[in-house]
Structure 1
Amino acid sequence: MRTTFGTILVLLGCLLAAPAVAAYALVGEVTDQQRYLDAVEPLADDPDIHASVAGQINAALADKVPASAQPLVDQSVNSFVRSDEFRQLWITVNREVHPEVLAMLRGEEGGSLSVQGDAIVLDLGDVATLLRQRMTEAGAPFAEQIPRINASVELISRPAVRQLVPAFDLLEKLSVVLPIVALGLLIGGVAVAGGRGRVLVVGGVGLVVMMLLLVLFQFLARSQVTARSPKPELAGVFYDALTSQVMTIAWVVCGVGGIAILVGGFVAAAQSRRAAAAPPPPRRRASFSR
């Protein structure tokens, strides 16, 4: 009876493990601004980001500089998007847009320059100032003629985010409770069970299965986000950055599940050997009265 009850508790803990991991990792990484910036900062070195930003800037400057100077402008822009100045601009822009990302995930409506139409937009208008400064330092004769440009990068569409809003809202509310409850059920189930080896095996298998399902869900959600976003390649790398910790923790928990299976197998085998080696209980002699 104890083993059955422990198994039920462990299975309930396994069912809660996937949403607990998602709640703990995703909510923390998205709602905390510094963790958000740490996640998206490496995107400043992503080739897709470079290509998109450079393309937007070159298109904005195409009719504002002499045709003979366009190759030099293209070279300067490509150099700029790989520079430390662009990295700092990327961090600044993402710090400004972070409240809008959070508002979209929470389903909050509100006017903002960072949300245009149905997409979160990173405004790169300050690129022209930095680019003009770099080209002036390089001695380009037409550098001072470069005007302010309206360059932006569209990342995540509102329809794609709205698909995840109910889930995110629920995960945010349960981000502290779910991990505690799931861990408590897993530990409590193993503690109360009589056959702990078998319960450990069940719990390990359950954790592995649930983490694999979480990885599959992440893959499907990424497909939905990119398919509905104006820039699928950018939305993809942005999504990967924000969910990287979810995937990391999922694989760690999956490894823990594998270890639990091995340990449970050894414990169950040891329990079986002890039960087989134990002497049989003494038989009671029947007494007869005359």
Structure 2
Amino acid sequence: MFRTGFATVLVLLGCLLAGPAVAAYVLVGEVTDRDSYLAAVTPLADEPAVRKVVADQLSAAIDDKVPASARQLVNGSITNFVDSGEFRTAWVTLNKEVHPQLLALLRDEPGSLAVNGDAIVLDLGVLAADVKARFVADGVPLADQIPNVAAKVQVVSGSAVRQAVPAFDLLEKLSVALPVASIVLIVLGVALSARRGRTLMVAGFGLVLVTVLVILFQWLVRSQVTAKSPSPELAGPFYDALTSKVSIVLWVVCGIGGVFVIVGAFLARRAPAADPRPAADYGDQRSYRR
């Protein structure tokens, strides 16, 4: 009885670590690896909301630098740019510039992205050459004389990032240890249990409950990030892009938990059927001796 109770405690501890383990391993890998980061954020170039924010910021930065008679043509050229394949290429270039600064920000290192007031901003100056090339192609008057683009897109509030820095630091340090500890505790608990079927069911229910809670927490964090962001229509897609793999892995772990429940129930139903026979045989032997 004590053995099974101890095993159950180990399993429950492993389940509690499972949620943070997924977040640590997947999210840290997604953010710290440049190729993974670019693969996550590149599709944002096709999001209408992202294109609109970029177009609006570019237009606002240029409108006061061109004659009023040319503003409509300039704005149309900017719209053509963000709707073109050229913007996707430029967006990748922009995020290549952003990634090392984003890491420095999350790690609280010098050289991080600028905090403008209470907001993290992306400098669209990287797109200047591509925007001017589009102006020339669209026949904007004196396109080559338009000053460099000095537009910035506000993404996430500084307060939200400052709150995330300690959590990211901890997750990065434990990104390998947490998954290993979670798996070892669950496997060890099931192996030590005298009633493996029931212990496996506990592990399954624990995994399902923890992953659902983490998914709910992830949704609540998203709502907080977008609510505090100066550009929620941009912050939301960025958050989704960087956490989408976390959600997928969490649902996979939830499915594994469901399998554990089914297998555990099957094993638990089989176990009692094997217990009565020794007792019955022992009784038959006593009756025979009499």
**TM-score (normalised: structure 2):** 0.90
Correspondence for 2:8: 7
Q: Which has the higher helix share?
A: 2
Cα displacement (A) at 1:118: 3.4
Distance, in Å, in 1 between the alignment partners of 2:77 and 2:16 is 54
Amino acid in the other structure paired with 1:5: F
RMSD across aligned C-alpha pairs, in angstroms?
A: 2.1
Correspondence for 1:180: 180
Matches within 5 A, 1:1-290: 1=1, 2-108=3-109, 110-111=110-111, 114-276=114-276, 280-283=280-283
Name the CA shift for 1:107/1:131 in 2 (closer, same or farther; >3 Å): closer
Range 158-167 or range 200-209, more displaced: 158-167
Instruction: Structure 1 unaligned segments of length 5 or more: list them.
Output: none
Distance, in Å, in 1 between the alignment partners of 2:151 and 2:140 is 22
Instruction: Structure 2 unaligned segments of length 5 or more: list them.
Output: none
**TM-score (normalised: structure 1):** 0.90
2:201–2:262 CA contact under 8 A, matched in 1: yes
Cα displacement (A) at 1:115: 4.2
Amino acid in the other structure paired with 1:189: G
Identity %: 57
Distance, in Å, in 1 between the alignment partners of 2:205 and 2:253 is 11
Cα displacement (A) at 1:86: 1.5
Cα displacement (A) at 1:169: 1.3
Give per-residue Cα distances to partners, 1:92-122, cap 9 Å, x unaligned: 22122222222222233x3556443433321
Name the CA shift for 1:278/1:79 in 2 (closer, same or farther; >3 Å): farther
1:128–1:147 CA contact under 8 A, matched in 2: no
Distance, in Å, in 1 between the alignment partners of 2:39 and 2:119 is 22
Amino acid in the other structure paired with 2:150: N
Amino acid in the other structure paired with 1:72: L
What secondary structure, in the 3-state scheme, does the structure 1 residue paired with 2:155 have?
strand
Name the CA shift for 1:113/1:152 in 2 (closer, same or farther; >3 Å): same
Distance, in Å, in 2 between the alignment partners of 1:76 and 1:277 is 85
User: How many matched pairs?
Assistant: 285
